[in-house]
Amino acid sequence: GNSVTQMEGPVTLSEEAFLTINCTYTATGYPSLFWYVQYPGEGLQLLLKATKADDKGSNKGFEATYRKETTSFHLEKGSVQVSDSAVYFCALSDGAGSYQLTFGKGTKLSVIP
């Protein structure tokens, strides 16, 4: 079956530090890959996505590249802000028509001034 593995948290960074959250996946076929963000007390919001190999998703300074050869979709940001403090989820859909998402367990990021 499909699975998503994210780096364990929590992650604590100082403002303006570089962020990487690792995500690897196992899936059949050609999945689409997503990063969701959950701010405290809120639901999940789509942060970025990539639908085929070598695609780069980007939004709000965050980037992730779909690497089929390493089955990875690592999230990066060059300079984090306090407002980026949230839980980040990596997810995939296998595109097989079931329209279901498989989620990683989430990584909590705290950014301190």
Partner 1 sequence: NAGVTQTPKFQVLKTGQSMTLQCAQDMNHNSMYWYRQDPGMGLRLIYYSASEGTTDKGEVPNGYNVSRLNKREFSLRLESAAPSQTSVYFCASWRAGQATDTQYFGPGTRLTVL
Residues that bind partner 1 (CB under 8 A): 32, 34, 36, 42-46, 49, 51, 89, 93, 95, 97-101, 103-106
Residue 36 is encoded by which pair of tokens? 């969701």
Nearer to partner 1, 76 or 103 (CB): 103
CB of 6 to partner 1, least distance (A): 9
CB of 79 to partner 1, least distance (A): 27
CB of 19 to partner 1, least distance (A): 20
3-state SS of the chain is: CCEEEECCCCEEEECCCCEEECEEEECCCCCEEEEEEECCCCCEEEEEEECCCCCEEEECCEEEECECCCCECCEEECCCCHHHCEEEEEEEECCCCCCCCEECCCEEEEEEC
Nearer to partner 1, 12 or 14 (CB): 12
CB of 29 to partner 1, least distance (A): 11
| CA-closest candidate to residue 46, choices 30, 62, 31 | 62
Nearer to partner 1, 1 or 113 (CB): 1
Nearer to partner 1, 97 or 113 (CB): 97
